[in-house]
Structure 1
Amino acid sequence: MNLLPPLPRGVRPTLRVRLTFVYGALFFLAGLTLLAVTYLLFNQQLNQTFEDRFKPEPGRTKQLFLMKDGVTVYGDAAVEWMRQQELELRSAAITSLLAQGAIALVVVGGGAVALGWVVAGRVLAPLNLVTDTARRIAAAPMAERGLSERIALDGPADEVKDLADTFDTMVERLDHSFDGQRRFVANASHELRTPLTLNRALVELAMHRRTASADVKELGESLLEINTRHERLISGLLLLARSEQEIADRSPVDLADVVTHVAAQIAGDASDAKVTVYEVTAPAPTTGDALLLERLVHNLVENGIRYNVDDGSGWVRVVSRTVSGGKVEVEVSNTGPAVPPYDIPLLFKPFHRQASDRTVTGTSAGLGLSIVRSVAMAHGGDVRARPREGGGLIVAVALPRARDY
């Protein structure tokens, strides 16, 4: 049974409002019942009192007389006059009872509703604490996660405290699970570097022997290419595990300098791919880890070069600027194949590659944009991507602006 009246579409009553309404409705219902019972008892008592006044005692005769306007009235006329007076008195008494009772009910009921609102707020305060903590955890950047927060609710061992303690236990287990996962990735990636380095040394040693045949050298080149891809994969996993941690040691970084540095570094790769890189730099001061931010811009530009047209007309445009809302931004756009809008969210998932680079020996490890997203979130920023009209992609990374600028 729903005691609440229908609300307009889109309006959702809170639990506090519902409890206050139910409490007020029950109070008014109890008050109306009490007023009705009081009316019935009062009316019955008046009737009984009036009848007892006219009813003679057994074995006796009751004679009523009174003075009215200086004239003595006897018998039935006196009784009739008394009954008329009593009816008027009873009507006035009942009217006064109902009117004043209704006014008192409204006044006390209003106070009860206000008290119910305060009591409901105090009762629901622990639940609001649970909700606020859950929202902070959900809104925390991916790197920070907020899983270190706890409710730590004080109070009696009731259902609400059981809920808060269960929530704390769940968050603590999630925190341990994520920490263990990152440590495993970092440790496994680090341990895999040693055999890869050994493989590279052995292959190079075999290739550079004087007795090495052309087939051995060709096989060695293929093995070195595969080994290089595996090394890139391991480095990407290590960087991804590092970028998902909170950035504690921050230093001032101007994204314009980072863009210029990365463009100079990658000029050779762009020339080999016959892709032109354009820089449009404006001051974009932020704070964070300079190496991670350099890797972020490098991955964006590298992706723009890799997934481009191969007819010599391709280009990549890198822009750094300050935007509204206390943010700075790096935007990388490029020519290239058309990217379906529904495929864009998948580009930021680890090990996802575009259709043109999904071979085992591909040059991409599928971690470039995943690292970009993790680095951005570790710095309190976000990443947005959209297809460019005519083909290619536009990726924009927004980061908090340094407060000193």
Structure 2
Amino acid sequence: MHDIRAIRENPATFDAGLARRGVEPHAAEIIALDEKRRALATELQGMQTRRNEASKAIGQAKARKDEATATALMAEVATLKERMPALEGEEQQAGTALDTLLAALPNLPADEVPEGADEDGNVEVGRWGEPPAFDFEPKEHADIGPALGLDFESAAAIAGARFAVLKGGIARLNRAIGQFMLDVQTLGNGYMEVAPPLLVRDEAAFGTGQLPKFREDLFQTTDGRWLISTAEISLTNLVREQIVDEAALPLRYTALTPCFRSEAGAAGRDTRGMIRQHQFDKVEMVAICTPEQSEAEHERMVDAAEMILEQLGLPYRRMLLCAGDMGFTARKTYDLEVWLPGQGRYREISSVSNCGDFQARRMNARYRPGGDAKGTRFLHTLNGSGLAVGRTLVAILENYQEADGSVRIPEKLRPYMGGIDRLVPA
């Protein structure tokens, strides 16, 4: 959510930020709605004050037996009472229209975010590792996996497209990846492990920006709750409607959870394999901090995600997303893209975003600066994958494949595999 005071003070700056996101200007409309709401509120407050004054004056007039004055005042009060409900309705309508408009507008990009309308405008800012050399034609994971226990046909029969069944060694490898990531983020990077709800209410999904804009990308249960598309929703909402002491910041949370996405906007994309699934596991990281800590926390979170890739020996590059390619709530985003030999290109495996105070305003999440007994400020929130388990499995299958169809297990994962050092085709 946006700061209405900042829009009033700098409407041109606000519209310029929207333009960088490919959104038409809205400052004038927002200011007009805000002025209307404030004018109605002022008028209503004046009527309430006058009604109270007149009601008090009626008693005084009757006490001095001034029936004419009492009658006139009672008529005035009756008129005020008749008018006020309509005015309250107008104020509510203006406030709802303003909130609806503000809720639909994306976060503004940070100054250092590059210009661009889509992924073509993203900028590579770092690279690690060399793509492996093969003395055979490397295959895609969808061709390697079936002989190792990756079963798309059974999944389709059970649940339909964009699901997978994992059996035997590859199921164990998938579990090992998630446990390894969770251990690195908790023991190595200081994130607190959380086992959060997988179902959330409207308010939680609104707070992190999934509602109302991305309703079609979510799955909803029969009781009206939403299956989480990312643990970011549950973890970030841990501070919803709270005032946190500054001394407790930053808060760092992580969770390994299933995630559920309808992929409504991905028709025809990545229909083969595990790149884009309706259900997948992911280790999510969330940080909650002060504005002054925000930038450093963002870099720290990216480093934490990169640590996983480096320990697994998976080549990757870091991309700074352009203004037009960032997510709805982000003000600055880095994507990590892992090398997939079977596809011969880099593919996203983690997205790490600084949301500034955008989500905190939607959640009314604040902190109390040290030494300030009265004032509060909105928190900054950040989130990132550390990492997506399924896409990491894909990257291991493709980068560690051998000519006979077997797949070597990265050394860091072997303790989680009971010492198994490779998956062998059945």
Q: Bin the TM-score by the shorter chain.
A: under 0.3
Bigger proportion of residues as helix: 1
TM-score (norm 1): 0.27
TM-score (norm 2): 0.26
Q: Which has the larger radius of gyration?
A: 1
Higher relative contact order (CA 8 A, sep 6+): 2
